[in-house]
Amino acid sequence: MKKHILMSAMVLTLVTGSLQAQNEDVLRPYGRPGDAQQSNSRSRSKRDKMIIGVEGGGLLSFFSQTLERDVQVTGSPEDVLKSGSGWGGTFGLFFDAPLSSSVGLQFRVNYNMQAFSNSSTADTIDAAIVGIRPRDGEAPQGFTTVVPMPVQTSASWTTNSISIAALARIDIVDELFLTIGPIASIRMGDVVRHDMIEKTENDTMTWISIDYNGVAGKYQSIHRDISVASNILPVGAISTSTYAGARFGLEAGIGYRWKIGPSVFIAPNVRYQYMFSKMNETFQSTDVSRGNLQSPSNITFSNAKLNALAIVLQVGFYF
């Protein structure tokens, strides 16, 4: 973690430091010769306008984690936990302090509402796990017959956070600018995951025989909301992991300022937030979805990452 924060700080320092050299004035479009080496005793171009602004827009989240199995099984509902994506929203405040004509430091605080999900309609679980319903007029057959049962599976996450970014802003040409710098994300409340397993074939022979609380029944579908990282099946050897309270990463973006008034501009802005921190720690669980017809499979869930692409509109005010 410390290594990542250090790396972000170094990027910020290098970028801001190296781009203060070009000091345009009314006589010299490209600054004085050798300006970068000159001391500040000569007139130094220093933009005197600071910016304060608000922004709002969409946040496209990308979740991923690694599932490592000791035994490979096909069509397991657990596989929906490998990844997820989806749109949420973000809004925030920013402050830009100029360092030179083309470089500034930008500080931003955002409230983020992230939502992402994954689903599969081609999963299969062994019906022995959930039981077989007897035919009409016949005696119950118990759980001795095992058949594969097609199911649809989904997992949907929602999480809110406050992010704080300290960015270098570099004007490339004209009003086109880049931002790059470290970002911290602080979780606000629980990460809530909604799990769902649902039969996809309308037969009268099979049903889901146990819900997420271990209560036996004849279910067409089962649901739950959980706030810890876990596997998705309602049975099996379950272990969990809590979600990280704070995560750190690096953000890089590009934007374009359009002046719409003497001291006002709007700036469409696209940026990618790559988080070095994991969303939760490694945990293990047993996948029993194909435990009868294939084999139980132990899964190690690790390297859970949540990155995001933000597309926002900034409204800035010079002062």
Partner 1 sequence: MNTLRHAAFLMFFVACTAFAQNIRIVPVDHNSSNDDFGLTPTNHGRLVYFTSDRSGEQQIYSMERTSSGWTEPDKLGGKVNSATHVGTCALTTDGQYMVFAGYEHNVDGLGRTDLYSATRENGTFKNITNLAALNSSFYDSQPTLSADGRTMLFVSDRTGGAGKTDIYLSTWNGKEWSTPKQVTGINSAASEMSPVLASDGRTVYFASDRQGGKGGFDVYVAKLSGLDATNVRPVGEPINTAADELFYTSIPNSDQAYFTRATASGDYDNFMAVPNPFPSDPVVLVEGIVRDSVSREPLGSAMSITDLSTGKAIATLHSDDETGRYYVTLVPGRVYSITSSRQGYMFHSERYEVPPAAKGSTVQKDIDLIPLSSGKTGSLLVFFDNDKSELKPESMPELERVIELMRENANISVRFEGHTDDKGSDDYNVKLSERRAESVRDYIIAAGIERTRIESAGYGKKKPLSNATTEDARALNRRVEMRIISTGK
Q: Which residues bind partner 1 (CB under 8 A)?
A: 24-27, 29, 43, 45-49, 101, 173-175, 259, 262-263, 318
Compare residues 143 and 317 and give the one whose CB is closer to partner 1.
Answer: 317
Compare residues 139 and 173 and give the one whose CB is closer to partner 1.
Answer: 173
Minimum gap (Å) between residue 312 Cβ and partner 1: 23
Compare residues 242 and 263 and give the one whose CB is closer to partner 1.
Answer: 263
The residues facing 266 across adjacent strands are 258, 315
Backbone angles phi, psi at 40, to 5 degrees: -80, 5
Minimum gap (Å) between residue 25 Cβ and partner 1: 4
Provide the token pair at 313: 């509109």
The residues facing 264 across adjacent strands are 261, 317
Give the three-class secondary structure for 215.
coil
Indicate the residue type of 158. T
The residues facing 246 across adjacent strands are 186
Return d(Cα 157, Cα 65) in angstroms, integer.
Answer: 13
The residues facing 227 across adjacent strands are none
Minimum gap (Å) between residue 40 Cβ and partner 1: 10
Minimum gap (Å) between residue 45 Cβ and partner 1: 6
Minimum gap (Å) between residue 255 Cβ and partner 1: 15
Minimum gap (Å) between residue 251 Cβ and partner 1: 26
CA dihedral 231, 239, 225, 233 (to 10 degrees): 40
Compare residues 237 and 264 and give the one whose CB is closer to partner 1.
Answer: 264
Ranges assigned E (strand) in the chain: 51-69, 83-98, 103-126, 148-173, 176-199, 208-210, 216-219, 221-226, 229-230, 240-241, 246-256, 258-261, 264-275, 283-287, 297-318
The residues near 127 (Cβ < 8 Å, ≥ 6 apart) are 145, 146, 147, 148, 149, 206
Compare residues 207 and 317 and give the one whose CB is closer to partner 1.
Answer: 317
Provide the token pair at 235: 């049975």
Minimum gap (Å) between residue 303 Cβ and partner 1: 45
Compare residues 34 and 214 and give the one whose CB is closer to partner 1.
Answer: 34
Compare residues 46 and 218 and give the one whose CB is closer to partner 1.
Answer: 46
